[in-house]
Amino acid sequence: MQGGLGFLFPLIIIGGMMFFMTRSQKKQQNQRQELLNSMKLGDEVVTIGGLYGVVHELNTDKGTVTIDCEGIYLVFERAAIKTVTPAAASAPAATVETEEVTEVVETKEEEKENQ
């Protein structure tokens, strides 16, 4: 009897480990699929190659995404998208940058007036 239980215990542990590993992989796969399904026009994306751009067109039939990278339009498979930032979340950052630029322009104009 002792030999049967000694053999069964490692099999149970290995089976439990495999169950939890596949469970976490399925959870990650579902999260990634939700991320790709939530992608909309105007969202900022990063590809697996590190290319930043804005979603210009989504083709669900072919499973492709057209990305606008500063005027250059590139077509990728949806699986090539690594991260998606919704367009609403990226808008405040652009506003902050434009405010800083206007401050610099105002100080240059003041210097010209003082001379």
Return the DSSP state at 60. T
Instruction: State how far the Cα of 1 lies from the Cα of 88, in Å rounded to an integer.
Output: 66
User: Token digits for 40?
Assistant: 């909309």
Lowest mean pLDDT among 9-13, 42-46, 54-58, 99-103: 99-103
Residue 5, pLDDT score? 74
Q: Which whole-number Å values give the CA distances from 75 to 35, 46, 50, 59, 109, in the listed order?
A: 18, 13, 15, 10, 43
Is pTM beyond 0.75 here? no
Which distant-in-sequence residues (6+ apart) come within 8 Å of 96 by Cβ?
A: none
pLDDT of residue 113 exceeding 60: yes
Return the DSSP state at 51. -
User: Token digits for 54?
Assistant: 């804005």
Instruction: State how far the Cα of 42 lies from the Cα of 54, in Å rounded to an integer.
Output: 6
What is the residue extent of each domain of the chain? 2-86
pLDDT of residue 91 exceeding 70: no
- What is the per-residue pLDDT across 36-78, written as a single tens digit (0 to 9) for each? 888 889 999 999 999 999 999 998 889 899 999 989 999 999 9
CATH topology of domain 2-86: SH3 type barrels. (2.30.30)
